[in-house]
Structure 1
Amino acid sequence: MTKSNAKKLPLQAAIAALLIPAASFAHEDLSYSYVQGGYLVQDVDIYQDSDNLSEFIEEVDDGGGYKLEASIAFTDSMFGFTSYSDTEADFAFVDNNGSVRPSQTNVKTLKLGVGFHAPLTQRMDFVGSAAYVDMDLDEFSFGQNDNDVIGGDDSIGDAYDDLNEDSSDGYAIDAGVRAQVATWLELGGGLRYTDVDAGDDVSAFGNALFEIDPNMGINLAATAGDNLSTYELGFRYSF
Structure 2
Amino acid sequence: MKRSNLAIALSLAAVLPFAAQAQEAPSNTWVEGSYVNADGNAEGHAVRGSFEFGESNVYGLAGVTRLDVEDSPLVLDGRELGLGYAHPLSDRTDLFAEAAYRDVEVQVPGGAVDSDGYRTSVGLRSGLTDRVEGLVKANYVDGDNIDGDFSGTVGGLVKLTPTWGITGDVTFGDDAETYQLGVRASF
Larger radius of gyration: 1
**Cα offset for 1:42?**
1.3
Alpha-carbon distance in structure 2 between the residues aligned to 1:69 and 1:165: 23
**Cα offset for 1:227?**
2.3
Match of 2:60 among 70, 80, 92: 80
Structure 1 133/62 Cα, relative in aligned 2: closer, same or farther at 3 Å? farther
The answer to whether the aligner puts 1:217 opposite 2:186 as a matched pair is no
Whether the 8 Å CA contact 1:205–1:221 is kept in 2: the answer is yes
Q: Residue 74 of structure 2 aligns to a residue in which SS? A: strand
Alpha-carbon distance in structure 1 between the residues aligned to 2:23 and 2:90: 11
Larger strand share, 1 or 2:
2
**Cα offset for 1:84?**
0.3
Q: Residue 191 of structure 1 aligns to a residue in which SS? A: strand
**Cα offset for 1:123?**
1.3
Structure 1, unaligned stretches of length 5 or more? Answer: 1-25, 44-60, 92-102, 142-163
Match of 1:68 in 2: 47
Match of 2:25 among 24, 29, 35: 29
Match of 2:74 in 1: 105
Instruction: Give the partner amino acid of 1:105.
Output: L
Alpha-carbon distance in structure 1 between the residues aligned to 2:122 and 2:115: 23
**Over aligned residue pairs, what C-alpha RMSD do you find?**
1.6
Match of 1:193 in 2: 140
Alpha-carbon distance in structure 2 between the residues aligned to 1:227 and 1:140: 24
Aligned length: 164
The answer to whether the aligner puts 1:133 opposite 2:113 as a matched pair is no
Match of 1:41 in 2: 37
Deviations 1:87-124 (A, max 9, x none): 11147xxxxxxxxxxx4211111000000001112211
Alpha-carbon distance in structure 1 between the residues aligned to 2:123 and 2:24: 20
Larger helix share, 1 or 2:
1
Match of 1:147 in 2: none
1:115-126 aligned within 5 A: 115-126=84-95
Instruction: Give the partner amino acid of 2:27.
Output: S
Whether the 8 Å CA contact 2:25–2:126 is kept in 1: the answer is no
**Cα offset for 1:79?**
0.2
Whether the 8 Å CA contact 1:201–1:228 is kept in 2: the answer is no
Alpha-carbon distance in structure 1 between the residues aligned to 2:140 and 2:44: 23
Whether the 8 Å CA contact 2:23–2:129 is kept in 1: the answer is no
Match of 1:51 in 2: none
**Cα offset for 1:226?**
1.5
Q: Residue 68 of structure 2 aligns to a residue in which SS? A: strand
Instruction: Give the partner amino acid of 2:176.
Output: L
Whether the 8 Å CA contact 2:155–2:168 is kept in 1: the answer is yes
Instruction: Give the partner amino acid of 1:29.
Output: A
Higher relative contact order (CA 8 A, sep 6+): 2
Instruction: Give the partner amino acid of 1:83.
Output: G
Deviations 1:46-103 (A, max 9, x none): xxxxxxxxxxxxxxx7421000011100132100010000011147xxxxxxxxxxx4
Match of 2:174 in 1: 226
Match of 1:202 in 2: 150
> What is the percentage of aligned positions where both structures have the same residue?
30
